[in-house]
Structure 1
Amino acid sequence: MSNKRSTFKVPNTLIILLFGALIMALVVPWVPAGYFEKGMPISLDSYRVAEHNISIAVFGTGKEIGFLNAPFEGMTSGSRSGSAIGVIAFILLVGGAFGVINATGAVDRGLLRLIAITGHHPRLLLGSLFAAFATGGAVFGMGEETIAFLALLLPLILHLGYPPEVGVMITYVASQIGFGTSWMNPFGVALAQGIANVPLLSGAPLRIVMFLVFVSTGIVFTLWYAQRHRTAADLGEDGKIVIPVDAPPLALADRVILLGIVATIVWIVWGVVTAGYFIPEIATQFFTLCVFSAIVAILSKRLTADAAAESFVAGAQQLMSAVLVISLAKGIEYLLGGANPHAPSVLNTFLHSMGTMLETWPAQMAAQGMLAVQTMFTFVIHSGSAQAAINMPLMSGLSDLVGVTRQTAVLAYQLGNAMANMSVPTGAILMASLGVAGVPWTRWFGIIWRFQLLILAMSMAMVAIAVAIGYS
């Protein structure tokens, strides 16, 4: 009998997508293609079956559809204002911008300063950190970065007498709540809206309210759990808690860069709401922030010009996997015949079939079904950008058929992906965070499942509200 322990590792997202593309290439020629008649609203009644099925070659030339052509065709599809070309350029520029911002060290020093200010008031410290990481998740999709911050904060958490899982709550869990309720995250809601052809960063007021409600709920749960499981804290000779973190005062450069980040957020919100800014303008706003931060860092001798450029490239490189995921996901759409509702495609056939199944369902139930699908999909695909690229073409089209707004479909994607990521054992970032904290997943699930159910119920309520008000 073998003593080797059998372990299952979820394949890389690109492998899953490539396998999915292969399945589509084999199945599509056997499925009738369809289209929705021009000049009529997209509905079940306007659907027509095409005269010919879609044929797929291994290697296509000219106008032929080819399996091996999928990555290139996916990457070059769309326009500068949408998926895939525009979105790919957008996330590369934003990734590079945050690469430079992170290299300046201003964000790190800001968090350390926050710890120094609030450390003698543990509940204020935990709540402030939770809010800070939630904001990071909402503004620029903070995820993997929380692992490093957790390692930094864990000694402090233990020093204050709290169990290590509290550190996971205030970093990783907070970032996921921020991601799922974001009104401006370029790698989540903005990407999904671009794919769904919804105005970029539209619907922000409801999402901001949702962010405040969900984050407040997360803080309350974290403080409740932390207080119930707190042991004696380490005190100094004066009876005050000793903060074992070196937190020098913020330098002028730190303050200027952090102020620049806040100003850019305000500028983006103003531009989208008042001036009609879209992907090209918002990408340029982030690049402007990048140039501003680089100049401040260079003048303060924190970075050289070469180091700033290298940081930009490194930041963009970190998102190359997202670029390839988007390309392959759009490549699958290409193999299905494209997303044009008025051109023959198997995607239209799938939409018609799902719409026929759901046509007797009330819009409320159909929207909750979308939320359930997105939640279950998170067990396989954890990346928010990957899930948006894969699911949104289908979900946005399906929403048109069942009487749910595309904005609501985007909301269901956000909530389903991020909230499930707090507990699924296949999530790499969650498992890495638990590894840093030394908390087994079984123990973690025993802690978080009640909060997970509460957040799921709140997500269902938000989707129901969106349907009721015709969220757009």
Structure 2
Amino acid sequence: MDMTVKDGTPGASTCATEKPSARNFVFPHIFSILVGLIAVAAIATHIIPAGEYQRIATDDGRSRIDPDTFRFIDSAPAGILDFLTAVPRGVVSASAVVIFVLVTGGMFMVLRSTGIIGIAVDRLGRRFANNSLLMIAVLMAIFAFIASIIGTSELSLVYIPVILPLLIALGYDSVTAAAVALCATAAGFTAGVLNPFTTGLGQEIAEVDRYSGALVRLLVLAALVGSATWFVLRYARKVRRDPSLGLLANDDKEAAKRNEYRDVLIADPPHMTVRHKLAAAATAIGFAVMIFGVVRLGWFMVEMAGVFIGIGIVVGLIAGLTPTAISEAFERGFREVLLGALIAGVARGVAVILEDGQIMDTIVYGIGNAVSGMPVALAALGMFVSQLLFNFVIPSGSGQALVTMPIMAPLSDVLDVTRQTAVLAFQFGDGLGNILFPTSGYFMAALAIAGVPWQKWVRFYLPLFAAWCGIAVVFLLVTQAIGWNG
């Protein structure tokens, strides 16, 4: 069986696969949506006054806001040229994400060419052929645990190409594959039991003992993962029973994938040669090195991309591919995920406009004032909503922590909310929107690799998003009521 990411081009154009009628609204192309958001941001720079906080250098080389230093400054509204260059500047600003997506596509195309992914998926599928729902639940638990410990939800970009052909072969669809990876990693990242990018950094800025309150966060993890697993299994069971009920039932690309993978578990199992075994071992070692680098050495997308290039080259040579064949496989992989990589860059253009127009700090200042005017009983909820809205323009956990927590931490003292609860509100606000807002680069890239249009994903995810918001409200009300502080 061949592993492929060729259907990972975002189907941002459902127009190509779904025939519109006079009664049906045709959802805009994702590029149209993002450019529209850039235009809104540009207009906002003419309406919202510019302002800034002073930054304080931290011991680890980062910088954070001094919450007592906000001042209004001369406006710098975006002009026509700023608007027109927002997309290329966004691509440059998000270059690490763009490169990571391209390299991921290239590496998996090399692995596909060696045949080892096809063999691995075939064996896993045969083992769980009669209990595939259990396999989905186990995979989600594993993915969530990893994200909660190392805080790298971007690993969903690695998971999706591996599980996509397997789940389709077992009778599910691309939405199921995307959901297994994205919902699980989002749940783990949000709970953040030991997440260094949200929990660790947020607690450090709030001057709370790092990784304290782990018991409550474990309960959050259980609630988020449990609800997500039930939700995904419910959809998966429905699609397997009747594929016409799936969100991609009328998608031509999805139909092509079903035809490609439908009989893969019926045919004779592929033979695994000595070269295949050595290549598989080299792949496992490569991924172990990457995980070690992420956890212990602070590696991120650039370093991960470098490791992926190394994996592609080494594994390809071991499996018997020529340098030319490896290069051509990388090239095909680059082409297949190019649109998804560009979406990540275009989405970054929104933040570029807000930053250049110097209204980002003004927005933070306004959010802080709005929360400070809320009743004490609802203060933690106000923090959560504020963080969720701010996640739209800064979908980076560490970036959002550095911008908002210096404001929310002292504000929590004024509102009689414990700083531990303020950090939890930040975690909920940052995490739940990461797989909803189109400004989230890794999320849009993951949908691209899975071949799931964003608008279809929104229809799938909104009920779970609402349930997760309900869970967040309950935890925040309870922790505020009991004065939770570790």
- Shorter-chain TM band: 0.5 to 0.7
2:106 matched to 1:106?
no
What residue identity is the alignment partner of 2:360?
L
Q: Deviations over 1:268-298 (max 9, x none)?
A: 332233334344433322222222221223x
Q: Deviations over 1:210-250 (max 9, x none)?
A: 8788667666777899999999xxxxxxxxxxx74543354
Query: In the alignment, which of 326, 329, 338 is matched to residue 308 of structure 1?
Result: 326
Please report the TM-score for the alignment, with normalisation by the length of structure 1. 0.61
Cα distance in 2, alignment partners of residues 18 and 90 from structure 1: 23
What is the aligned partner in structure 1 of residue 395 from structure 2? Answer: 388
1:409, distance to aligned residue in structure 2 (A): 4.5
Residues 373 and 10 of structure 1, relative CA distance in 2, 3 Å threshold: farther
Structure 2 counterpart of 1:22: 39
Counterpart position of 1:71: 87
Structure 2 match to 1:34: 51
Deviations 1:389-431 (A, max 9, x none): 7x9866862344223888975664444444899xxxxx99797
> Who is 2:310 aligned against?
288
Partner of 1:94: 104
1:81-139 deviation per Cα after TM superposition (whole angstroms, max 9, x unaligned): xxx344433333333223322333322321211232344xx33x432255347768963
Question: 1:271 pairs with 293, 297, 303, which one?
Answer: 293
CA pair 370-49 structure 1, distance change in 2 beyond 3 A: closer
The alignment covers a number of residue pairs equal to 385
Secondary structure, in 3 states, of the residue corresponding to 2:100? helix
Equivalent residue number for residue 369 of structure 1: 385
Residue identity matched to 2:327: A
- Provide, for residues 366-405 of structure 1, a one-character-per-residue CA deviation record: whole Å limited to 9, x for no partner: 4532575599x7xxxxxxxx9937x986686234422388
Report if aligned partners of 1:87, 1:191 keep a CA contact under 8 Å in 2: no
**1:393/1:261 CA distance change after superposition, 3 Å:** same
Q: 1:278 to 1:149 in 2, by over 3 A?
A: closer
C-alpha distance in 2, partners of 1:259/1:212? Answer: 33
Correspondent of 1:47 among 60, 70, 82:
70
Task: Determine the C-alpha separation between the residues in 2 that align with 1:371 and 1:71.
Answer: 25
Report the Cα distance in structure 2 between the residues aligned to 1:227 and 1:334, rounded to whole angstroms. Answer: 42
What is the distance in 2 between the residues matched to 1:148 and 1:174? 13
Instruction: State the distance in 2 between where 1:68 and 1:465 align.
Output: 47
Query: Which amino acid is 1:353 matched to?
Result: G
Aligned to 1:353: 366
Partner of 2:246: none
Q: Describe the SS at the equivalent of 2:118.
A: helix
| Structure 1 residue matching 2:65: 3-state secondary structure | coil
Specify every segment of 5 or more residues in structure 1 that has no aligned partner in the other structure, as ranges: 60-65, 78-83, 155-165, 184-188, 232-242, 339-343, 378-385, 422-426, 436-440
TM alignment of 1:166-185, pairs within 5 A: 171-181=177-187
Q: Which has the higher contact order (CA 8 A, sep 6+)?
A: 2
Q: Given residue 49 of structure 2, which amino acid in structure 1 is its aligned partner?
A: P
Gaps of 5+ in 2: 1-19, 58-63, 145-152, 190-194, 205-209, 242-264, 410-418, 439-446
Name the aligned partner's letter for residue 36 of structure 1.
Y
> Deviation at 1:9?
2.8
TM-score normalised by structure 2 residue count: 0.60
Larger % of helix: which? 2
The 2-side partners of 1:129 and 1:350 are apart by 41
In 1, Cα distance between the equivalents of 2:424 and 2:309? 27
Q: Which residue of 2 aligns with 1:262?
A: 284
- Aligned mates of 1:209, 1:308 — CA distance in 2: 46
RMSD: 5.2
d(CA) in 1 for partners of 2:477 and 2:278? Answer: 42
1:327 to 340, 345, 363: 345
* Cα shift at 1:17: 1.7
Give the corresponding residue for 1:126.
133
What SS class does the counterpart of residue 46 from structure 1 fall into? coil
Report 1:149-188 matches (<5 A): 149-154=166-171, 171-181=177-187
Over 3 Å counting, the alpha-carbon distance change for 1:371 and 1:127 in structure 2 is farther
Write the letter of the residue equivalent to 1:95: G
1:325–1:88 CA distance, 2 compared to 1 (3 A): same
